[in-house]
């Protein structure tokens, strides 16, 4: 009898624990890596853009080797025009999606915080001056394509060869490397440098 009672008591305890455990588990939110999800959302948009880029490429003469600079210019322009047509309604944030922005801003700020004042100043001096940006604009010929800080490049998600990060003034842009178009941008990402 004593043995039976003990067994029943144990069964009740186990059963109550199990009953308690289920609602607790049910209440828990699934664990999400917020940074990973944000990067994934950005990469999804990048992949969509690359698909569109390839579609535009299929409709225009291929950019291939030529000794005629007129062909270079006309092919680049044709590709740019085709892309503009395919994403005529594009707006800022279409690729640099909202959930990715904090990740991007933090990466840039972290990079700058690890640099000396001299290094920061030298970098900022090398960035081309700010200009009015708009989606699908041709990257201005008057602005150099300043070197993108190699260390920062490693902290950002990789891009396919069709796209590259660039900095203009304090803004970070996403540039179509073949069509020479600004496809998205984020303003004021680069920290201000005290004069």
Summarize as ranges the residues that interact with other proteins (CB under 8 A): 63-70, 72-73, 76, 119, 122, 126, 141-142, 144-154, 158-159, 161, 164, 177-178, 180
**Smallest distance, other proteins to C-beta of residue 28, A:** 37
Provide the CB-side half-sphere exposure for 137 (13 A, CA). Answer: 13
**Smallest distance, other proteins to C-beta of residue 122, A:** 6
**Smallest distance, other proteins to C-beta of residue 77, A:** 11
**Smallest distance, other proteins to C-beta of residue 180, A:** 6
Three-state DSSP class for residue 172 = strand
Provide the CB-side half-sphere exposure for 68 (13 A, CA). Answer: 5
- C-alpha 192/C-alpha 187 separation (Å) is 12
Residue 75: C-alpha distances to residues 11, 19, 48, 82 (Å): 78, 69, 22, 11
- C-alpha 162/C-alpha 183 separation (Å) is 11
**Smallest distance, other proteins to C-beta of residue 64, A:** 6
Q: Which is nearer to other proteins, 66 or 130 (CB)?
A: 66
Q: Are 33 and 46 in contact (CB under 8 A)?
A: no
């Amino acid at each position: 009898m004593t043995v039976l009672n003990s067994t029943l008591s144990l069964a009740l305890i186990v059963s109550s624990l199990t009953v308690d455990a289920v609602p607790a588990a049910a209440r828990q939110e699934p664990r999400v890596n917020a940074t990973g999800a944000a990067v994934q959302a950005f990469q999804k948009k990048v992949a969509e853009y690359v698909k569109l880029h390839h579609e535009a490429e299929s409709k225009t003469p291929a950019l291939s080797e030529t000794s005629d600079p007129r062909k270079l210019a006309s092919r680049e322009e044709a590709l740019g025009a085709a892309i503009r047509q395919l994403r005529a309604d594009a707006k800022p944030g279409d690729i640099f999606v909202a959930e990715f922005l904090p990740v991007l801003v933090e990466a840039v700020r972290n990079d700058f915080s690890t640099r000396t004042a001299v290094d920061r100043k030298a970098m900022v001096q090398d960035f081309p001056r700010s200009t009015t940006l708009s989606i699908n604009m041709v990257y201005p010929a008057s602005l150099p394509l300043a070197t993108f800080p190699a260390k920062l490049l490693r902290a950002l998600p990789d891009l396919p060869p069709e796209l590259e990060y660039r900095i203009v003034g304090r803004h970070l842009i996403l540039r179509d490397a073949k069509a020479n178009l600004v496809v998205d941008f984020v303003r004021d990402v680069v920290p201000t440098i005290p004069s």
